[in-house]
C-alpha cells in the first residue's frame, strides 16, 4: 500500500438506518492524506453517525468503511493507534490531574514521545497538577485535545470541538493547533455548526443533508464555482428560470434568486435575448451555499 497516495478515509455506499430514519444514506467519500476537512450539516444531518463509523463505534449496515486501509470495526486497534478523537462531550475522568491523564494514556502508545506531549501541554497552557474537574470549559476542551494529540495521531477527529467555547479559545484551538497539525502533513476531520469557522480553517468540506452527502470537495473550488444570481424574467414568463446546476431557487414570480453551481453564461445570454434581466451576479458566500444545499437534499 502506498501511504502517501492512498486516502486516509474511504466510505463506499455506507448506509445506516434507525427504524424508518435514514441517518446515513449511501455515502461515498474519500479523504486524502493531509489538510483539514470540515464536516457540516444541520442538526440531525448525520455528522456524528458518520464519525462513529470512522471510529469503528458503529458497523456499516450497508457499504464499506476503511481507515488507513483497515476495517475500523474488526481492526479497531490498528485504527485507534493512528487516530486521535475528541467527542462533543469531552468525557475525561474528573478525579485525575492533567499530568496523570497523560501518564495513563502513554501506556497505550509504544511510540509515545514525552517531549512532544510536554511541549503540547505547555502550548495549551494546561497546568500538570490541575484536576480535570477544576478545569473551565475552555481548559477542558484543551485537555481533550491534548489527550487526542499527544500520541501524534495521523488522523485527528473532532466532533464539534468549538461547542460552548468563546471565540478566543475557538481561534486558539482550531486556527493555531488544528492548522499546525495539518501543516505537519497529518489529517484533521472536524464537524461544526460554525460556518465562518469551517470556511476559515478547512481545506476541504463535506456536507450532509438528511444523511446524504450533498457536497464534497476543496473549499476553494467550491467557492469558485458557486454563484448567486438574481434575475428578473420578462412579465409573461410562466415558469421559474431553469439555470444549469441550480441548488436553490427562491422568490418569483418575476424576480428570482438562484444559488447555482455550473456554467450559467449561455442561460444569461438566452435570458437577455428573451427580454429578461440579471439584477445581481456575485460569488455565493459559504453560508449561502450551505443554506442552499440544506434546503435541497438532492440537486435539481
Ligand atoms: P447534531 O448536529 O445535532 O449533533 P448530527 O448531524 O451529528 O446532529 P446524528 O447524531 O448523526 O446527527 O444523527 C443523525 C440522525 O440519526 C438523527 O435524526 C438522529 O436522531 C438519528 N439517530 C442517531 N443516533 C440514533 C440512535 N441511537 N437511535 C435512533 N436514532 C438515532
Tell me, what's the pLDDT at 1? Answer: 42
CA–CA gap between residue 8 and residue 84 (Å, rounded) = 13
Tens digits of per-residue pLDDT, 165-207?
A: 888 888 877 777 787 788 888 999 999 988 988 999 999 999 9
**Cross-strand partners of 111:** none
Kindly give the number of the ligand 1 atom that is closest to the alpha carbon of 88.
Answer: 4
Confidence of residue 164 (pLDDT cuts 50, 70, 90): confident
- Residue pair 55/85 in contact by the 8 Å Cβ criterion: yes
Cβ–ligand 1 contact at 49 (below 6 Å): yes
Mutation pick for ligand 1 pocket among 27, 38, 44 (CB with most ligand atoms within 8 Å) = 44
Tens digits of per-residue pLDDT, 81-98?
A: 899 988 777 678 889 999
CA–CA gap between residue 27 and residue 151 (Å, rounded) = 30
Cβ–ligand 1 contact at 21 (below 6 Å): yes
Tell me, what's the pLDDT at 2? Answer: 43
Confidence of residue 298 (pLDDT cuts 50, 70, 90): very low
> What residue owns the CA closest to ligand 1's atom 27?
18
How far is the centre of ligand 1, averaged over its atoms, from the C-alpha of 147 (Å)? 26
In the chain, which residue ranges form alpha helices assigned H by DSSP? 47-55, 76-81, 98-106, 114-123, 137-149, 167-170, 179-183, 195-201, 219-225, 265-273, 286-295
Find the helix or strand (DSSP H, E) in which 61 lies. Answer: none
Kindly give the number of the ligand 1 atom that is closest to the alpha carbon of 41.
Answer: 6
Tens digits of per-residue pLDDT, 198-225?
A: 999 999 999 999 999 999 999 999 999 9
Cβ–ligand 1 contact at 120 (below 6 Å): no
How many angstroms separate the Cα of 62 from the Cα of each of 14, 45, 52, 112, 156?
A: 5, 18, 15, 36, 25
How many angstroms separate the Cα of 97 from the Cα of each of 109, 184, 280?
A: 19, 29, 57
Q: Please, what is the end-to-end C-alpha distance for the chain in angstroms?
A: 39
Ranges 22-36, 68-82, 121-135, 137-151: which has the least confidence: 137-151
How far is the centre of ligand 1, averaged over its atoms, from the C-alpha of 30 (Å)? 22
CA–CA gap between residue 46 and residue 276 (Å, rounded) = 41
Domains in the chain and their CATH numbers? 9-210 (3.40.50.300), 224-294 (3.30.70)
Q: Which three cell numbers stand for residue 269?
A: 445570454
How far is the centre of ligand 1, averaged over its atoms, from the C-alpha of 123 (Å)? 34
Of 231, 233, 223, residue with least CA distance to 261 = 223
Cβ–ligand 1 contact at 272 (below 6 Å): no
Kindly give the number of the ligand 1 atom that is closest to the alpha carbon of 42.
Answer: 2
> What residue owns the CA closest to ligand 1's atom 1?
43
Confidence of residue 99 (pLDDT cuts 50, 70, 90): very high
pTM reported for the whole predicted model: 0.89
Question: Residue 163, class by beta-carbon neighbours within 10 Å (0-12 exposed, 13-18 middle, 19+ buried)?
Answer: middle
* Residue range 136-140: mean pLDDT, rounded: 87
Indicate whether 3 pLDDT > 60: no
Amino acid at each position: 500500500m502506498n501511504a502517501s497516495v492512498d486516502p486516509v478515509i474511504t466510505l463506499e455506499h455506507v448506509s445506516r438506518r434507525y427504524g424508518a430514519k435514514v441517518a446515513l444514506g449511501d455515502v461515498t467519500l474519500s479523504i486524502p492524506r493531509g489538510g483539514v476537512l470540515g464536516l457540516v450539516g444541520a442538526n440531525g444531518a448525520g455528522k456524528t453517525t458518520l464519525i462513529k463509523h470512522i471510529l469503528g463505534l458503529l458497523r456499516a449496515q450497508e457499504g464499506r468503511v476503511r481507515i488507513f486501509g483497515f476495517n475500523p470495526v474488526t481492526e479497531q486497534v490498528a485504527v485507534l493507534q493512528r487516530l486521535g478523537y475528541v467527542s462533543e462531550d469531552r468525557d475525561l475522568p474528573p478525579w485525575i490531574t492533567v499530568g496523570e491523564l497523560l501518564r495513563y494514556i502513554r501506556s497505550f502508545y509504544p511510540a509515545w514521545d514525552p517531549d512532544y506531549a510536554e511541549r503540547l501541554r505547555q502550548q495549551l497552557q494546561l497546568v500538570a497538577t490541575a484536576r480535570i474537574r477544576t478545569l473551565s470549559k475552555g481548559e477542558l476542551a484543551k485537555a481533550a485535545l491534548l489527550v487526542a494529540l499527544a500520541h501524534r495521531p495521523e488522523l485527528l477527529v473532532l466532533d464539534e470541538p468549538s461547542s460552548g467555547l468563546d471565540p478566543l479559545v475557538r481561534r486558539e484551538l482550531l486556527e493555531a493547533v488544528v492548522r499546525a497539525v495539518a501543516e505537519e502533513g497529518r489529517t484533521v476531520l472536524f464537524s461544526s455548526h460554525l460556518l465562518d469557522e469551517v470556511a476559515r480553517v478547512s481545506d476541504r468540506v463535506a456536507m450532509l443533508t438528511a444523511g446524504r452527502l450533498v457536497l464534497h470537495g476543496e473549499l476553494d473550488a467550491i467557492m469558485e464555482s458557486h454563484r448567486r444570481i438574481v434575475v428578473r424574467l420578462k412579465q409573461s414568463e410562466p415558469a421559474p428560470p431553469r439555470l444549469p446546476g441550480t441548488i436553490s431557487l427562491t422568490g418569483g414570480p418575476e424576480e428570482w434568486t438562484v444559488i447555482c453551481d455550473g456554467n450559467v453564461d449561455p442561460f444569461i445570454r438566452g435570458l437577455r435575448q428573451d427580454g429578461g434581466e440579471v439584477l445581481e451576479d456575485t460569488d455565493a458566500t459559504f453560508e449561502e451555499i450551505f443554506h442552499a444545499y440544506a434546503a435541497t437534499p438532492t440537486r435539481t
